[in-house]
Amino acid sequence: MSDRVLFRGGHVLTMDPDAGDIFAGDVLVEGETIAAVGRGLEVGDAEVVDASGSIVIPGFIDSHRHTWETVIRGVAPDVSLAGYFEVVLAAFAPAYRPEDVYAGNYLGALEAIDAGVTTLLDWSHINNTPDHSDEAIRGLQQARLRAVYCYGNPNTSLVDWWYESELGSPEDIRRIREQYFSSDDGLITLAMGTRGPGFCKSEVVKHDWELARDVGAPISVHVGMGPVAGRFSMVKKLDEMGLLGPDTTYIHCNYLSDEEFRLIADTGGKVSIAPTVEMYMGHGTPPTAKALAHGLRPSLSIDVVTTVPGDMFTQMRSLFASDRLLAHEAAFEAGNVEEPTFLTSREVLEFATIDGARVCGIDDRTGSLTAGKQADLVLIGCDHSNTYPVIDPVSTVVHQADTRNVDTVMVGGRFLKRGGKLVDADLRGARDRAAASLDHLLAATQIQPNWVQSTGLEPVHRH
């Protein structure tokens, strides 16, 4: 591949307010970075990629996914959050071996790339041993996408690690920082996932926050997911403990009070929403409007493929639909005859790209097609039956396109998908390892999917 690549003649949605949209536009990549964005750029000796009739966007940013769960994809389609804790965290997680974590992270990262996700925050609460952590990182490294490895707690026992846990997060994150993340400039960076008030004792909360800050890792915490967690008043308690800060991302936030949203905004915190999971599992209505009302622009995330799809198209539509439904209902209940102010399709695309990069703390290097940033971009093909014709490219991406339209994915100037096919990815090996892991996990837990119980047939997970 040439060190210079020109994407020629596409509908370029830069997601950079200064550059705007450029129709019949070009994006020039030199090495790892975007050299120029415009129209009629000089090609020189650049390799030319014909993007005419296609849409060029910055890659999607998934700001929260438990990637290790990929090998048990779809195992819990009908459960609530409590059921997820029992099936996934209480039964499956303790049975995971390091090789199962690697299998999940590698296959899950390939899935993300295939769907146009160029940055993945891997919220890895499967650090049962140091080897589990090493294998999680190895899976991300081999996939070669941009990632934030979010070091979470072990899950060897639901009683030990949740529900008023007295166990602090392992100090092994110090080794992880030194061994893999001595610099914050790499393709993969470090964060720390914490449990927060209500899921562990106050002294544990304090220990975990101090540990994260001592190793210089941004913090990510689940809050307000479901009415039970809402009663914990997690953000308010963190404030009382003096722990709120601009280094923290709050995931879900469905049952936060206005006071708690104000506390997040006042301390520079960030918000990540997983709309499909939140509606499926009973976390609560995606709090998009509440976040925006307090000046908090949310990012989007998948959360768990044990229950929902692993693509950002689904998340964008779920959030768009839920927010507009709430706006319609609020207007009706208030007796308003005029249409309310709605969330726009462009805002949703911003949540999935530039706002995701900002929440992950990497908007200086990705999230928009801006000269000088890393060349993380996606080419959406528009010659399919579901994307042709293109009247409004933003509408096409947010409402019409799906994973079949992701033609090309580039991360840091490297092609990871081209012509609709993954590049230099061991998909067959990933599937074989996932199948072996699933065999082990089903045997260890004695759990059978519903349809297996009713038919007696073996699960379909072989190639």
Per-residue buried b or exposed e for 258-295, using 16+ beta carbons within 10 Å of the residue's own CB: eebbebbbebebbbbbbbbbbbbbbbbbbbbbbbbebe
- State whether 73 and 38 are in the same domain: no
CATH code of the domain covering residue 43: 2.30.40.10
Q: How far apart are CA 196 and CA 208, in angstroms?
A: 9
The answer to whether residue 461 is domain-embedded is no
Q: How far apart are CA 445 and CA 403, in angstroms?
A: 33
- State whether 272 and 348 are in the same domain: yes
Helix (H) or strand (E) holding 325: helix 312-334
How many structural domains compose the chain? Answer: 2
Residue 238: its pLDDT value, please? 98
Print the domain residue range for 40.
4-58+369-422
Residue in 2, 4, 33 with CA at minimum distance from that of residue 369 = 33
Residue 259: its pLDDT value, please? 97
- State whether 348 and 374 are in the same domain: no
- State whether 329 and 399 are in the same domain: no
- State whether 27 and 156 are in the same domain: no
- State whether 405 and 316 are in the same domain: no
Instruction: For 337-389, write each residue's pLDDT tens digit.
Output: 777 788 999 999 999 999 999 999 999 999 999 999 999 999 999 999 999 99
Given a cut of 80, whether residue 454 has pLDDT beyond it is no
- State whether 48 and 71 are in the same domain: no
Residue 338: its pLDDT value, please? 78
For the segment 295-314, the average pLDDT, to the nearest whole number, is: 98
Q: By three-state DSSP, how is residue 432 classified?
A: helix
Question: Out of 142-146, 329-333, 340-344, 387-391, which region has the weakest mean confidence (pLDDT)?
Answer: 329-333
- Please give the structure tokens belonging to residue 157: 């026992």
Sign of the Cα torsion 396, 399, 404, 410 reads positive
Chain-wide mean pLDDT for the chain? 95
- State whether 234 and 326 are in the same domain: yes
The answer to whether residue 130 is domain-embedded is yes
Q: Residue 156: CB partners within 8 Å, gap ≥ 6?
A: 93, 94, 128
Instruction: For 401-432, write each residue's pLDDT tens digit.
Output: 999 999 999 999 999 999 999 999 999 999 99
Q: Which of 422, 439, 456 is the last residue of a domain?
A: 422
Q: Which of 304, 338, 358 is the last residue of a domain?
A: 358
Rounded to a whole number of angstroms, the CA Rg of the chain reads 22
């198209």: which residue's tokens? Answer: 313
- State whether 176 and 154 are in the same domain: yes
Instruction: For 194-228, write each residue's pLDDT tens digit.
Output: 999 999 999 999 999 999 999 999 999 999 999 88
Helix (H) or strand (E) holding 9: strand 4-13
- pLDDT level of residue 335 (50, 70, 90 thresholds): confident
Q: Which of 358, 377, 393 is the last residue of a domain?
A: 358
The answer to whether residue 438 is domain-embedded is no
- State whether 297 and 350 are in the same domain: yes
The answer to whether residue 446 is domain-embedded is no
Given a cut of 80, whether residue 248 has pLDDT beyond it is yes
| % of the chain with per-residue pLDDT over 70 | 96
Residue 256: its pLDDT value, please? 97
Given a cut of 70, whether residue 1 has pLDDT beyond it is no
Given a cut of 70, whether residue 450 has pLDDT beyond it is no
pTM recorded for the entire structure: 0.95
For residue 389, whether the previous peptide bond is cis, meaning omega lies within 30 degrees of 0, is yes
Can you name the residues that pair with 273 across neighbouring β-strands? 300
Instruction: For 47-95, write each residue's pLDDT tens digit.
Output: 999 999 999 999 999 999 999 999 999 999 999 999 999 999 999 999 9
- Please give the structure tokens belonging to residue 206: 């304090």
For the segment 255-278, the average pLDDT, to the nearest whole number, is: 98
Share of the chain residues as helix, strand and coil, in percent rounded to the nearest 5: 40, 20, 40
For the segment 173-189, the average pLDDT, to the nearest whole number, is: 97
- Please give the structure tokens belonging to residue 141: 């490294």
- State whether 101 and 53 are in the same domain: no
- pLDDT level of residue 452 (50, 70, 90 thresholds): low
Can you name the residues that pair with 149 across neighbouring β-strands? 122, 190
Helix (H) or strand (E) holding 191: strand 188-194
For the segment 284-295, the average pLDDT, to the nearest whole number, is: 97
Q: By three-state DSSP, how is residue 231 classified?
A: helix
- State whether 77 and 128 are in the same domain: yes
Residue 463: its pLDDT value, please? 46
